[in-house]
Amino acid sequence: MARWQGQLIKIDDYRWEIPQNYKTGMRVPGLIYASRKMLESICEEQTPEQVANVAFLPGIVGYSFAMPDIHWGYGFPIGGVAAMDIKDGVVSPGGVGYDINCGVRLLRTSLSEAEVRPKINELINALFRNVPSGLGSEGKIKVSQKEMNQLMVEGALWAVKRGLGSEEDLDATEEGGCLSGADPSKISDKAVKRGMPQAGTLGSGNHFLEIQVVKEIFDSHIASIMGIDEIGQILVLIHTGSRGFGHQVCTDHLRVMEVAVSKYGIKLPDRQLACAPIGSSEGQAYLAAMACAANYAWVNRQCIAHWARESFSKVFGKSPEALGIKQIYDVAHNIAKIEEHTIDGRKLKVCVHRKGATRAFPAGHKDIPKHYKEVGQPVLVPGDMGRCSFVAVGTQKAMSESFGSTCHGAGRVLSRGAAKRSMKGRDIARELESRGITIKAGNIPSLAEEASQAYKDINEVIDVVHQAGISRKVAMAIPMGVIKG
Amino acid sequence: MEMSLLFLYNGLGGMKKAFEILDHTADVGIIAYGTDVEELFSNAALALFSLITAPESVEEKLHLDLEVSSEDRDSLLVEWLNELIYLFDVKHILFNRFDIESLTHNQLKATCYGEDFDPMKHKIKIGVKAATYHMLKLDKDGDGYKAQIILDI
């Protein structure tokens, strides 16, 4: 695909504007957070065109934002943030993505690298047995249709009530692990059938469970509030979403939106941007269904975190409490939410679409747990399996500038096919092993698709959001053991 | 976005190409061909299952009658593939032959042949989760038809 040739105006070293007059029909300008170096690679694809296309959507306010990990997506770019006025704006399933509430959960432990290293194989094997993963994997929990309806409404609480975790976990989860407004009557029979057997499974593709070692602490005060106390400490990161359930919800509602676009006379530059007014029956139905899928994903991560704790407990012969295992936080990377923001000095209710982006609320915000009130909401940014992951916090700058949003990860640069070709003949599992990373995967050939070369360097992504001030880095950890589907 | 040709698959006749697989940064796409729209729909479905597993490993042990409807022909193609993705995800059926019995601009009736997924026999290559509207194209192509569909994996 051709290089993007559009116009970009440099605001500062980390902000680049696509002016509103770049394309007739843009309602706001676009804004890309990137270093000059990253911008080069971003413009190698038509991704900035997608940022401009999102600016066409009715009711969009401020900017059509792109985070530094931005890459080409369906309609909306991945790494995009767009806020629509709830009075005259639209909601778009494409602005959330197929894997609704794909997100990450981070646990801390009191274990050290020295204690875990000798048992890493045993631990990875225990996790692989305990956490259902892989293509078509089915859960250990059997969910009936009736339970499915409860799960969609209750979110992570549903799992906690069944002994999978504690109230404390809910407090350390975005939205308390339950997005309000979920309505199972807006969910198709097909989605329920796809969702029932897959509840409590990790899935495949880029989803993983990782044992990490803290390598660097940038802000020891904030880190200690999170329970990250020293270099060498062991963390556990879980990355998964709403599986086939979320995909079916998105597919079903995109179809409804296809019809709504002509019904409401909305002009779009790309069919995949299909949307409906937020207040319309179609818009409300999507938001109610999306909440069901978001809650399903939180149940998923809640169950997996519990089984991870059990695995540690078994391998080390101590209770999870004795091992100091506690949830640091859980964030959504693909979601749309009704939030209040201040735009040009006036308070406005908007529907913030975050597709491959993380909420990054500042210290003092009413929607963050008491525990983090003083420092800001934890932001969890996983890298690829060969590099590292970051923990950051939200800032006031994010609140005033990017609708309280920041980046979500590394972002792909190579297609799966290209990644596979570039790794041909190489044994990725062995290469990782030689660097001290033990990996167990259900599908070894697909490991190549997730190799480091396929992703942007997470260090550059984090530097941009840190320098731009839309989040503040707290700690960095590297992988030691990974399980993948 | 990088788009490159991964492989060509020639139909049983061996003369005309049935489909191609496209490489897309986050996902994967297919380009299906057909002398008529019926053949195009059948080849698109074949391309889908060739991504999931090796088509030659699938035998015709069962058949299923399907009816799919949509708003227009383009979205009918997406819905058709989504129906097959759903059947694999929920009922674990792999298909390798599709008889398109009737096809209008918004409705399709087909009989699909294949067998239940057997982990001892079928190697799953990738999990396809949805057919998308992104960069969707269905056009006349010389004497026949050609369609492009991006799949979410």
Whether A408 has its CB under 8 Å from any CB of chain B: the answer is no
Distance from C-alpha of B64 to C-alpha of B98, rounded to nearest angstrom: 10
Query: Under an 8 A CB cutoff, do B23 and A416 touch?
Result: yes
pLDDT of B63 above 70: yes
Reported confidence tier of residue A92, pLDDT bands at 50, 70, 90: very high
- Mean pLDDT along residues A294-312: 98
CA–CA distances in Å: residue A54 to residues A37, A344, A470, B57, B58: 24, 21, 21, 43, 42
Tell me, yes or no, whether A444 lies in a domain: yes
Q: What is the pLDDT of residue B124?
A: 86
Residue linked to tokens 């990250």: A228
- Assess whether pLDDT exceeds 50 at residue A2: yes
Of the candidates B79, B92, B126, which has its C-beta nearest A446's C-beta? Answer: B126
Q: Contact at 8 Å (CB) between B51 and B128?
A: yes
The pLDDT of residue B1: 38
In this predicted structure, what is the pLDDT of residue B8? 54
Q: Provide the total of helices (H) and of strands (E) in chain A, helices listed first.
A: 15, 19
Average pLDDT over residues A10-22: 97
Question: Region A56-66: what's the mean pLDDT?
Answer: 98
How many Cβ atoms are within 10 Å of B4's Cβ, its own excluded? 12
- Choice among A60-74, A125-139, A140-154, A300-314 with the minimum mean pLDDT: A125-139
Say what the pLDDT of residue A410 is.
82
pLDDT tens-digit profile of A139-165? 788 899 999 999 999 999 999 999 999
**DSSP secondary structure code for residue A210 in this structure:** E
- Give the model's pLDDT for residue A327: 98
Q: Specify the pLDDT at position A190.
A: 96
Helix B73-91 / helix A243-263 crossing angle, nearest 10 deg: 160
Phi, psi for residue A24 in degrees, rounded to 5: -65, 130
Nearest CA in chain A to B24: A415
Does the CB of A149 have a partner CB in chain B at under 8 Å? Answer: no
pLDDT value for A422: 79
Per the domain annotation, does A126 fall within a domain?
A: yes
Tell me what pLDDT residue A443 has.
75
Q: Catalytic: which of A207, A306, A408, A466?
A: A408
Q: Which residue in chain A is spatially nearest to B52 when comparing CA positions?
A: A135
Q: Tell me the pLDDT tens digit for each residue of A378-407.
A: 999 999 877 899 999 999 999 999 999 999
The pLDDT score that the predictor gives to residue A1 is 62
H/E segment holding residue A67? strand A60-71
A194 at interface of B, judged by CB pairs closer than 8 A: yes
Round to whole Å and give the CA distance between A342 and A354. 18
Q: What sign does the CA torsion over B73, A91, A403, A381 have?
A: negative
- B6-15 burial, b at 16+ Cβ within 10 Å, e below that, comes to beebebeeee
Number of domains in chain A: 1
Measured CA to CA, the distance from residue A431 to residue A417 in angstroms comes to 20
Whether A414 and chain B come into contact, CB under 8 Å, resolves to yes
pLDDT tens digits for A201-212? 998 878 999 999
pLDDT at A296 over 90: yes
Q: Decide if A1 is inside a domain.
A: no
CB contact under 8 A, A1 and B28: no
Closest of A325, A79, A304, A43 to residue A199, by C-alpha: A304
Going by C-alpha positions, the residue among A127, A205, A124, A106 that lies closest to residue A485 is A205
Q: Which residue has the tokens 């997924």?
A: B117
pLDDT score recorded for residue B3? 43
Closest residue by Cα to residue A316 from A109, A39, A102: A109
- Dist. CA A341–CA A346, nearest whole Å: 8
- Rounded to the nearest 5 degrees, what angle is found at the Cα of A353, between the Cα atoms of A298 and A178? 25
Q: For CA atoms A267, A191, A308, A443, give the dihedral sign.
A: negative
pLDDT reported for residue B10: 55
Hey, are the CB atoms on B130 and A247 less than 8 Å from each other?
yes
Q: Is the pLDDT of residue A475 over 50?
A: yes
CB contact under 8 A, A274 and B133: yes
With cut-offs at 50, 70 and 90, classify the pLDDT of residue B5.
very low
* Closest listed residue to residue B27, CA positions, set A273, A73, A410, A249: A73
- In percent, the amount of chain B with pLDDT more than 70 equals 88
In a domain? residue A453: yes
Residue A193 vs residue A431, higher pLDDT: A193
Mutation target for A interface from B21, B132, B153: give the one with most A CBs within 10 A.
B132
Q: Residue B53: pLDDT band by 50, 70, 90 thresholds? A: very high
pLDDT of residue A364: 97
Note whether A105 and A308 are within 8 A (CB): no
Return the structure tokens found at B59.
């035998």
A251 touches B at CB < 8 Å: yes
> pLDDT for B32-47, tens place per residue?
999 999 999 999 999 9
For residue A225, what is the domain's CATH number? 3.90.1860.10
A53: in domain: yes
> Closest by alpha carbon to B102, among B75, B149, B68, B143?
B68
Asked whether B132 and B153 are in contact (CB, 8 A), the reply is no
Average pLDDT over residues A178-201: 96
Distances A394 to A376, A377, A389, A465, B41 between C-alpha atoms, Å: 5, 5, 16, 10, 48
ipTM confidence: 0.84
Spell out which residues of chain B touch residue A272, defining contact as CB-CB under 8 Å: 132-134
Assigned domain for A132 exists: yes
What torsion do the CA atoms of A469, A378, A202, A333 make, to the nearest 10 degrees?
A: -40
pTM above 0.90, yes or no: yes
Indicate whether A2 belongs to any domain.
no
CB atoms within 10 A of CB A26: 22
Q: Which domain holds residue A139?
A: 9-484
Q: Is B83 on the interface with A (CB under 8 A)?
A: no
Please state, for a pLDDT cut of 70, what percent of chain A lies above it: 99
Q: Could you confirm whether A408 is annotated as catalytic?
A: yes
Does A2 lie at the interface with B, CB-CB under 8 angstroms? no
- Give the position of tokens 């993705």: B85
Structure tokens, B36 = 């008529």
Confidence of residue B9 (pLDDT cuts 50, 70, 90): low
* Angstrom distance (rounded) from CA B89 to CA B127: 9
Chosen from A69, A259, A416 to mutate, greatest number of chain B CBs within 10 A: A416
Distance CA A90, CA A283 (A): 7
Residues recorded for chain B: 153
For chain B, percent of residues with pLDDT exceeding 90: 73
Neighbours of A348 (CB within 10 A): 16
Domains and CATH numbers, chain B: 5-152 (3.55.10.10)
Decide: A381 and A103 in contact? Cβ < 8 Å: no
A-proximal residues of B, 11-70, CB under 8 Å: 23-28, 70
Residue A4 within any structural domain of the chain: no
DSSP per position, chain B: ----EEEEEE-TTSSSEEEEEEE-SSSEEEEEEESSHHHHHHHHHHHHHHHHS-GGG----EEEEEEEE-SSHHHHHHHHHHHHHHHHHHH-EEEEEEEEEEE-SSEEEEEEEEEE--TTT--------EE--TT-EEEEETTEEEEEEEEE-
Sign of CA dihedral A441, A444, A450, A453: positive
- Which of these, A294, A296, A281, A297, lies nearest to A240 by C-alpha position? A297
| Inter-CA distances, B142 with B34, B46, B139, B145, Å | 11, 22, 10, 7
